[in-house]
Amino acid sequence: MPLEIERKFLVKGNGWKTNNGKPYVQGYLNLDPKRTVRVRIAGGQAFLCVKGPTRKATRSEYEYKIPLDDAKALLKMCEGSLIQKIRHTVDYMGMKWEIDEFTGENAGLIIAEIELESEDQVFDKPPWLGSEVTDDPRYFNSSLATRPFGAWGKN
């Protein structure tokens, strides 16, 4: 079973900023915490992804490339809001970081993610890394589709 082991952090400052950002748009066909089904368009390619429940920093993940036209049609069927972001890739001390600069309803939120080989893998933390939010479900992309960051201060 393919597993994703990922830790997430808020980002502070602009020391991470790159010129290699790629626009992403994604939506969720199923938002059940036991299994989410996501459709994503990234840089002209499209993917369908099924993820299992998150346990600590680990979950099962199955991702498949799909035709772009299918993805565009599926995005119209998604629950909640579409997630829009610019993904930057930064190498730091031999590790690849993906930094999502959210736009649209989640504008102002910047999250750095690192994929690991094991949950206890040691890695160097860049100076622009803020608080860890791996275990905070508010920062899951699937949660941001139903309760966008821009609405957090509103009741």
Q: Which of 24, 28, 62, 64 is catalytic?
A: 28
Distance from C-alpha of 15 to C-alpha of 38, rounded to nearest angstrom: 30
pLDDT tens digits for range 103-122 = 999 999 999 999 999 999 99
* Residue 24 annotated as catalytic: no
pLDDT tens digits for range 23-70 = 999 999 998 888 999 999 998 999 999 998 878 888 899 999 999 999
Structural domains of the chain ordered from first start = 3-151 (2.40.320.10)
Tokens encoding 96: 């690849």
Could you tell me the pTM of the whole model?
0.92
Q: Is residue 31 within 8 Å of 24, Cβ to Cβ?
A: no
Distance from C-alpha of 129 to C-alpha of 123, rounded to nearest angstrom: 12
Cα–chain-centroid distance for residue 48?
A: 14
